[in-house]
Amino acid sequence: MFIDAHIHLDQYAEEEREPLMAKLAAEGGEAVIAVSMHRESCEANLRLARAWPKRVYPAFGYHPEQPVPDDAERDRLFAWIRAHAAEMTAVGEVGLPYYSRMDAEQRGEPFALAPYVDLLERFVLLAKELDKPLVLHAVYEDADMACSLLERHGFNRAHFHWFKGSEDTIRRMAENGYYVSFTPDIVYEPEIRRLAELYPADQVMAETDGPWPFEGPFAGLATRPDMAQDVIATWSEIRGVPLEDARRQFYTNTKRFYGLK
């Protein structure tokens, strides 16, 4: 069995979802963690979770690579999340806008980071209040800012998805007990393969971040949840761990982190 620990299931076309979930089951997949982009995305993922109980586990949040919501929309989102907390597996996807900031800098445009940091801190506090894991989009120097927020509030139930960063940050995250997940780019990206060498085996998970497309042997292919198996197989080769042991490790880690029964 395996679990896709991070996928945007609601971003697939409606007619694609049933075949995706059927393929997942056919390949031995148990479930997916369906992360959200904004309030409408949260609502869609809740509907999908109700349609596929114990197959789709929803996370509710606001993706940082988009404009910060105004106060009224933010308050509506937080109220909605609190109202549906009993059906929520995690808070996410939330984080900091590294790529948007880099794009703005390349264009020579100013970028206000402080509102994003404030919003992330609010999500950290929300996850702590609701006793839910937190799914993070925070890479490179943004990961250090996220770590500082987590440390400030004594919260360590953090999952850094598709993480990239320095070895100092990797050590800091590992020592704090945070989890990371690898996408199919572990097959062909040296930076991600190095992360796989370094990160503790009991703090790793597999994800696809679908429908995001990949390169290398996956070029031109639609991203599917069962590609998480390629992630696990590659990690087993990198670490020299028998494949069945690797599968068991990833499955156990994901169930433990997300509290899945």
Which helix (H) or strand (E) segment holds residue 179: the answer is strand 179-182
In this predicted structure, what is the pLDDT of residue 182? 98
What 3-state DSSP class applies to 71? helix
In this predicted structure, what is the pLDDT of residue 261? 87
Q: What is the pLDDT of residues 99-111, one digit of tens each?
A: 999 999 999 999 9
Q: Which residues contact 195 (CB under 8 A, 6 or more apart)?
A: 163, 164, 170, 180, 182
Work out the burial of residue 11: count CB atoms within 10 Å of its CB; fewer than 13 is exposed, 13-18 middle, 19 or more buried.
Answer: middle
Distances from the Cα of 95 to the Cαs of 6, 84, 116, in angstroms?
A: 14, 21, 8
In this predicted structure, what is the pLDDT of residue 50? 98
Work out the burial of residue 235: count CB atoms within 10 Å of its CB; fewer than 13 is exposed, 13-18 middle, 19 or more buried.
Answer: buried
Residue 139 half-sphere exposure toward CB, CA atoms < 13 A:
17
Distances from the Cα of 43 to the Cαs of 38, 86, 103, 210, 239, in angstroms?
A: 9, 14, 30, 18, 39
- Report how far residue 159's alpha carbon sits from residue 137's, in angstroms, rounded to the nearest whole number: 9
Q: What is the token pair recorded at 56?
A: 């789709």
Chain CA centroid to CA 20, Å: 19
- pLDDT tens track, the chain, 261 positions: 999 999 999 999 999 999 999 999 999 999 999 999 999 999 999 999 999 999 999 999 999 999 999 999 999 999 999 999 999 999 999 999 999 999 999 999 999 999 999 999 999 999 999 999 999 999 999 999 999 999 999 999 999 999 999 999 999 999 999 999 999 999 999 999 999 999 999 999 999 999 999 999 999 999 999 999 999 999 999 999 999 999 999 999 999 999 998
pTM above the 0.85 mark? yes
Structural domains of the chain in order of their starting residue, each with its CATH number: 2-258 (3.20.20.140)
In this predicted structure, what is the pLDDT of residue 6? 98
Chain CA centroid to CA 213, Å: 16
Percent of the chain with pLDDT over 90: 100
In this predicted structure, what is the pLDDT of residue 58? 98
Q: What is the pLDDT of residues 159-174, one digit of tens each?
A: 999 999 999 999 999 9
